[in-house]
Amino acid sequence: MAFADLLTSMSEFTPEQEQFITEVVARICRRHADVIEQLATQVHALTMVLVEKRLVTVERLQAARKHLDLAYDITQALQIRALMKDIDEIETG
């Protein structure tokens, strides 16, 4: 089955079903965004206290940021690779 055929068969929903799915996904995404924002605020506050009390240095934070950036880049590459593999399997499937 070609990828275009898969997309065509996936869109066989009624407009009401598509609207419902869209609303549910939007609600889930908003909730996740709220949780992430709260977590980021708490991490920021904790980090400020740790730096202020000199339990963590700015240099260590910069090193941690570099490690996180690298981990993010690696994760992105792995996800793209997995997606390409999935698409290949669908097309040859």
Answer yes or no: do 42 and 82 share one domain.
no
Answer yes or no: do 50 and 22 share one domain.
yes
Q: Is the pLDDT of residue 4 over 60?
A: no
Number of domains in the chain: 2
Query: Under a CB-based contact definition with an 8 Å cutoff, are residues 40 and 32 in contact?
Result: no
Answer yes or no: do 51 and 71 share one domain.
no
pLDDT tens digits, residue range 41-74?
Answer: 999 999 999 999 999 999 999 999 999 999 999 9
Could you list the residue range(s) of the whole structural domain that residue 77 is in?
57-93
Whether pTM exceeds 0.75: no
What does the mean pLDDT of the chain come to? Answer: 91
Answer yes or no: do 4 and 33 share one domain.
yes
Answer yes or no: do 70 and 25 share one domain.
no
pLDDT tens digits, residue range 5-44?
Answer: 555 556 689 999 999 999 999 999 999 999 999 999 999 9
Answer yes or no: do 44 and 71 share one domain.
no
- Give residues with Cβ within 8 angstroms of 2, minimum separation 6: 91
